[in-house]
A and B are shown apart, each in its own frame.
Chain A
Amino acid sequence: MTRKRSDIIAGIVLFALAGLLFIVAGFMPTRQGSVQALNTGFYPRMLAVIMAVLSVLLVLETVRKQGQEARQMAPWWKTKSAFTMFLATLVLLVLYPFVMRLFGFASASFLFITALVWLLTEKGQAKPVKILGIAAAITLVVYIVFKLVLAIPFPMGLLI
């Protein structure tokens, strides 16, 4: 996908979001006869209009450029390894809060770091002892800073 096409799509999506904001803000309570600015929906609606105008401008600007900047976007999702890495990181991030609630924040941090370092290490070079050691060291730092020094009350997990 070219930068041009992605900008046009971004403009259309933003316009749709602005429309949605405008409609939703219309359901907010209004007071008859008073100054408009007093109404709850007034300010969101104003922002929605500005956003809509800007997204139209973005599309116009992009179309008017006439391909002079139609260079290929860095196709990060096309190189398989980069995309898998990205998705895997997202999955790990989303799992973190659940693991934290289940086992405690130190265990969650340890598992998160171990898994991610292992993913980021080139295949064939992974030395399990080194990865576990580094993950343990980073977790220890996090534990000392947040649990011992800052005394943050973390959810009680099955472990720590």
Chain B
Amino acid sequence: MELFSFDLYLSGLHFFTNPLMYVASFFGVLVGVVFGALPGLTATMTIAVFIPFTFGLAPTISFAFLLGLYSGAVYGGSISAILINIPGTPSAIATSLDGYPMSQQGRAGEAIGISTISSTIGGFLSVIVLMFAAPAIASVALKFSAEEYVGITLIGLSVIAIISPGSTVKGLISGVFGLVIGIVGIDPITGFPRFIMGRAELLEGIDSIPVMIGMYGLSEMLVQISDVQYSIVVKQKISKLIPPLKDLKRILGTVIRSSFIGVIIGALPAAGGSIASLVAYGQEKRFGKRRDELGTGIIEGVAAPEAANNASTGGALIPMLTLGIPGDAMTAVLMGGLIIQGLRPGPLLFQQQMPFVSSIFISLLLSVVFMCIIGLVGAKYFAKLIGFPKKYLIPAILVFCLVGSYAISNSIFDIWVLILSGIVGFVMRKLSFPIAPIVLGMILGPLFESNFRRSLMLSEGNWATFVQRPISLGFLIVVVLVLVGPMILKRFNKVIIRGN
């Protein structure tokens, strides 16, 4: 594969003579912003619930829609974070730190405007980085063999276990649980059916989409039903959405710095938008010109996390597209959307499906443009939607989950898979086991297993094969560092504190 060939960028342009691409992208962003803005509906859940809609569409159109959802939902979370101090999606947590104080001062419109512009710049820069980094990484990844894939998968699972809130052991258990779900179906090597319980539907494994809709959509709704009801009213008037030039100048440095933080963190396996925005906010607190005023409601405090979380979108797509290892739960679900289209992400995608990859770049760019327009024009109306009563929203989403799960392969069996996963997800949430590692484990399971066993077969059962190849050894060292590092640091800090 030729590096940086212009074909990679332009060969998908002809798809965009089809007006449906623009329609799909526009609606994707619109739906994404609305769902992202509604508290309790995360970006991951939005993508999971809408995947069944895309499945009859051509892959390019389906991805124009899904990437629109992705950008829109990550941005939309900021609207409720600013207006009511409840982040619509986890990646907007840091936005409320300064966004809500601004809103209390009657400057909600200004905050949303800054958030829109910062998200746009962040999103735009991340597409540029994606376009240059992805083919480079893909060409390196072409040289990876089974051992390296085992290493990368383990990195992904251990990082997501570490960064999931709460106990790392619980994160790891969730990850292994995901891998166990991946066992069901025909053994890839011997062809023996495992745990199919006499159901033909299970021969090819448990369909990951109904499980994801269950874990993210249904279980979240069950949690909300079992929670105390609350109603939200937004009374603020939204005005002055378009920021004045001097404000833009003021935040430019912050936005660019945070965007790069966002892309890099997004590109790390398993670390997504929420971490990116928190780190960017932390950086602003350390190095920003107005670090002392942060938290009181200044525009830098909105610009930093919002630039970072949208910048992480392009970053998170890098490992998903080039290695087939999703960067976070959102891209794991997006990967599910690719797989049902019959496309396997990984370095070969760049060789064999170049026009499609190119269309992904262009679609992501398009979604950033639509996000900017929809954000600046529509914010007033989205603010009203935040108060939409839960008692109508929950049943509507549940019906979408039910019908959507059926629609993937027209099977009632998938509805049972959905309901069961919803209940399991609910129990795990209540016991504070993280959900993201399960989804990642389930998606990566088959890939991990076949690479793992293939390595051992080729080495005739010699486990040393994983440490004899330098890159594979490097990956395994990273895994150990990720898992043991924080523990050692903690001990080390304790010793220092005692010493002092």
Residue ranges of A at the interface with B (Cβ–Cβ < 8 Å)? 3, 6-7, 10, 14, 21, 24, 28-29, 35-40, 42-44, 47, 50-51, 54-55, 57-58, 61, 73-74, 76, 82-83, 85-86, 89-90, 93-94, 96-97, 100-101, 105, 109, 112-113, 116-117, 120-121, 134-135, 138-139, 142, 145-146, 150-155
Contact = CB atoms under 8 A, between A and B. Distances in A.
The contact size tier of chain B is 35 or more
A89 B222 contact: yes
B419 A93 contact: yes
A21 B222 contact: no
21 contacts: A28-B192, A35-B457, A40-B187, A40-B190, A43-B183, A43-B452, A51-B177, A51-B180, A83-B226, A86-B226, A89-B225, A105-B406, A116-B398, A120-B225, A120-B229, A120-B394, A138-B392, A139-B399, A142-B403, A152-B406, A152-B407
Contacts of B225: 82, 85-86, 89, 120
B395 A94 contact: no
B423 A44 contact: no
Nearest to B448: A43
Tell me which of B55, B228, B430, B453 has the highest count of chain A C-beta atoms within 10 A of its own C-beta.
Answer: B453
Contacts of B172: 54
A47 B180 CA distance: 7
Given A36-B456, A154-B406, 20 more contacts: A10-B431, A21-B180, A24-B195, A29-B192, A35-B456, A35-B461, A38-B189, A38-B453, A44-B183, A47-B179, A47-B183, A51-B176, A89-B222, A90-B423, A93-B398, A97-B412, A109-B399, A117-B392, A120-B225, A155-B412
Interface string B199-235: 0000000000000000000100110011111000000
A56 B170 CA distance: 11
Contacts of B403: 105, 109, 142, 146
A36 B461 contact: yes
B170 A58 contact: yes
A58 B166 CA distance: 12
A112 B399 contact: yes
Interface in B18-67: 52-53, 55-56
A63 B391 CA distance: 41
B169 A57 contact: yes
Interface string B159-183: 0000000010110110011011001
